[in-house]
Amino acid sequence: MKRTIKYKIPEEFDGKKVIAYLKGEAKISARLLRSLKRIEKGITLNGEHIRTVDILHTGDELKIEIPCPDGEIEPMNIPIDVIYEDDDLIAVNKSPFLACHPTHNHQGDTLANALAYHLKNEGKQSVFRAVGRLDKGTSGIVICALNKHSAAKIPKTAEKEYLAVVSGKTEKIGTIDKPIYRPDPMKTLRAVGEQGDRAVTHWETIATDGEKSLVKVWLETGRTHQIRVHFASIGMPLVGDGMYGTDEMKLGHQLLHCAKVSFVHPVTGERMTLEAPMPEDMRKIVETLNT
């Protein structure tokens, strides 16, 4: 299987080299270009194989064929909530009880296995290229690129908005600017500390009952467990987070949800915004808070 993308050469690229268009206008990465040059008919002009140094003319049809290698992840029939899909990407509203990718604890019951099954049924083949993974226990939008080009471009323009229910009453707005590090390289646990990497989290309070608060969260940086670690560091761990706080309500997962993702489509150039509803248990708790 492969993904074919066609480009009509505009007047401003008349007389310029193929590589100038692919790297400049089409924003093809250097790594993908190297891969395309090794493939027979990876890059063609008006149906003929060409070199990247060849010259373009107005109205030419430039075509690239991106290979989609067979994935090594076993397809598993696990229900998933697909909120958007095309030839270049697929977006899913992930359940908080589903891990993103196989680990020693989760070999076949992951989003990667579910997507492998879904794509196989549609006659598509793809390796698992999640554009920003979510922890098991965190719900919301996960975008998976279906080819190398999408995998290279989407992360550069993606902006995420999270919803979290934290312990305590938060200020109306706030910022947490504390470095995060990994105390034990054998464990996933993170902590704040000056020896860590810069991490900045912004929030806005949406609702509170004095004991719990619903906050909208934006990240300047993308450290592992950043939202969970940061709110725990100010004495307001996420409700349900047994790793950085307690799970007194026996939810089995932290109340953290990736609610909105905005990005530029890797082929059309269109700015897209996807939204996903909270899981049922989180929604019910949020409804008890005062707005």
Which residue, among 214, 268, 264, 265, has the nearest Cα to 239 in the 3D structure?
214
Give the number of domains in the chain: 2
Q: Which domain holds residue 29?
A: 2-67
Query: Burial level of 83, CB count in 10 A (0-12/13-18/19+)?
Result: middle
Q: Name the phi and psi angles at 150, rounded to 5.
A: -65, -40
User: Pairing mode, if any, of strands 139-145 and 256-264?
Assistant: parallel
Longest CA pairwise span in the chain (Å): 68
Asked if residue 60 belongs to a domain, the reply is: yes
Which residue, among 21, 19, 10, 98, has the nearest Cα to 59 in the 3D structure?
10
User: Pairing mode, if any, of strands 173-177 and 139-145?
Assistant: unpaired
Distance CA 226, CA 246 (A): 17
Question: Quick one: pLDDT at residue 126?
Answer: 65
- What are the mean pLDDT values of the chain's consecutive 10-residue runs (291 residues total)? 84 93 88 82 89 92 77 83 95 95 71 91 79 92 92 93 98 98 91 97 97 97 96 98 92 97 95 98 93 62
What CATH number does the domain containing 206 carry?
3.30.2350.10
Residues with a known catalytic role: 135
Token digits for 131? Answer: 């554009």
Asked if residue 106 belongs to a domain, the reply is: no
Question: Quick one: pLDDT at residue 103?
Answer: 67
Token digits for 237? Answer: 């761990």
Question: Quick one: pLDDT at residue 280?
Answer: 97
Distance CA 219, CA 226 (A): 8
Asked if residue 278 belongs to a domain, the reply is: no
Distance CA 205, CA 88 (A): 35
Return the bridge partners of 263, or none: 272
Asked if residue 154 belongs to a domain, the reply is: no
